[in-house]
Amino acid sequence: MLQTVFIACGLVAVTVFVHAIGLALILRILRRLNAAPPTSFWPIAWLLVRVAWALILIHLVEIAVWGAFYFWQDCLPDAESAFYFAGVTYTTVGYGDLVLQTPWRMLGPVEGLTGILMCGLSAGIFFAVVSRIFSSHIKQS
């Protein structure tokens, strides 16, 4: 049990580290586009699509970290099941068609909580981008 707690803490740390790197890259790119935010529909939509793609990519890497661990430790029967379970758990969809065995059961809820937190950070980035666009419209008015 204690070993599982330490492993869970390690996986959470790796997940947060990956997210921090991803968000730093997104923010660096957005800062380089330091020009005025777009003001018409299509450029705004295209910016939001690119930000969404980048955020989803970060989350997929994080899901892959959890899935790789599950596969490496034979927590689930095969790689497809390990990555599927990681995705369903991280996103808190939780179909329940696959479950972890006794020594690893605690990882499921920890992964779900971590996914919620990381999705919250991503929502914050999205909010900041939209706020910047909106505030530039207010200044122009």
Break the chain into its structural domains and give their ranges: 2-140
Higher local confidence (pLDDT), 123 or 136: 123
Token pair listed for 96: 């329940």
Q: Which residue has the tokens 């990519």?
A: 57
Helix (H) or strand (E) holding 76: none
User: pLDDT tier at 18 (50, 70, 90 boundaries)?
Assistant: very high
Instruction: State residue 97's pLDDT score.
Output: 92
| 101: CB partners within 8 A, 6+ apart | 75
pLDDT at residue 33 in the model: 75
- pLDDT, residue 10, reads 98
- In this prediction, residue 118 carries a pLDDT of 98
What six digits make up the tokens of 77?
Answer: 């029967």
∠ CA(64), CA(127), CA(10), 5° rounding? Answer: 30
Section 1-17 average pLDDT: 95
89, burial (CB in 10 Å: exposed 0-12, middle 13-18, buried 19+): buried
Give the CATH class of 2-140.
mainly alpha
Instruction: State how far the Cα of 34 lies from the Cα of 89, in Å rounded to an integer.
Output: 37
Residue 25: partners with Cβ closer than 8 Å, 6 or more residues away = 54
pLDDT of the residue at 141: 64
